[in-house]
Amino acid sequence: MDPAKFVEDSIKELRETIDGKAIIAISGGVDSSVAAAITSQAIGDRLTGVFVDTGYMRKNEAEEVREIFSEYDLDFRIVDASDDFYESLSGVTDPERKRKIIGAKFIDVFREVAAEVGAEYLIQGTIAPDWIESGGELRDTIKSHHNVGGLPKKLGMKLVEPLRDLYKDEVRELARYLKLNVAERQPFPGPGLAIRVIGEASPERVAIVREANYIAEQEIERAVEEGKMSMPWQYFAVLLPVKTVGVHGDLRAYGETIVVRAVESMDAMSATYSRIPHEVLDRISRRITNELGDRVNRVVYDITNKPPGTIEWE
């Protein structure tokens, strides 16, 4: 694939296809970002890009996405629906219920924005592995993936998928060509940090995992820059519903447990845990227990492959 030619042809085709307003959900991931960037070049501010802040995003995520799209000519909106999401998930502990509630809420927000702007077209960053049988469907039987697959019918919009014949490496190549700062971003699940808080994903518990995740990401990226290790395929933190006894100063503490998870994978179907140097694990553990010292007093590293584990804990 020649990126310049692909972009040029896509713009032409999108201009011929889309004669009204279009909408796209932007997650900050590489697929939706590339689809949004190309479509905005084709139809400008007839495209509305919606980033739904569910309250379960990583630290600085909404602002980073805004920054990426600040140079593009599209109607970019961040919808802060966090209170709504927190309320819907209050008291919910079952992983599948969490995923379903988040998926449904996401559609509600999206539906509101689509009606508000009068969008007739829905742009999706679907790529080949998403619709080729094996990949998506096998995964879907294990966990209900949050995506907007069910949207077009429910919203009565026409679906346009500019990347549907491409593979991930080609989409990454396009992102680099378009100078989109998302090309090497690690995958992040649609339900976000809600599935990285085991048990109820209350705002207080999400705040803990958000900070721990930020520290784990920072230390791993620093170690990669220093040449101490190679970049894992995915790396993050999980908060367990398990308290353990520790010491804080001279006093007995009873605090939360954080799991650090890092994996190597090709396509997320199988994965092996990353052999992170102990020195790096040590830095992560010290920082988490120092910076979150009033709440977290234990950090463990997940050494499970997929299968039998999955990459995420829920």
Closest to 302 measured CA to CA, from 266, 269, 257: 257
Question: Least separation, in Å, of the C-beta of 23 and ligand XMP?
Answer: 19
Give the interface segment with ligand XMP, choosing from 8-16, 32-40, 145-153, 289-297 (CB under 6 A): 145-153
For ligand XMP, the closer CB: 42 or 263: 263
What is the length of the chain?
A: 314
Opening angle at CA 174, ends 168 and 177, nearest 5:
145
Cβ–Cβ < 8 Å for 22, 121: yes
Q: Is 146 in the site for ligand XMP (CB under 6 A)?
A: yes
- For residue 27, give the nearest of 156, 159, 189 by alpha carbon: 189
- Backbone angle region of 52, left / alpha / beta, with phi > 0 → left and psi within -120 to 50 → alpha: beta
Distance set, CA 135 to CA 82, 129, 262 (Å) = 31, 6, 21
How many residues sit in the footprint of ligand XMP (CB under 6 A)?
A: 16
User: Per-residue x/- mask for ligand XMP, residues 285 to 314, rule CB under 6 A?
Assistant: ---------------------x---xxx--
**Looking at 66, 145, 228, 243, which residue binds ligand XMP (CB under 6 A)?**
145
DSSP states of 123-158 as a string?
E----HHHHSHHHHHHHHHHS---SSTTHHHHHT-E
Stretch that binds ligand XMP, among 71-79, 137-145, 157-165, 215-223 (CB under 6 A): 137-145
Q: Which of 28, 95, 190, 192 binds ligand XMP (CB under 6 A)?
A: 190
Judged by CB, which is closer to ligand XMP: 120, or 161? Answer: 161
In the shown chain, the binding pattern of residues 216 to 235 toward ligand XMP, with x for contact by CB under 6 A and - for none, equals ------------------x-
Helix (H, G, I), strand (E, B) or coil at 308: coil
Give contact residues for ligand XMP (rule: CB under 6 A).
Answer: 139, 142-143, 145-147, 187, 189-191, 234, 268, 306, 310-312
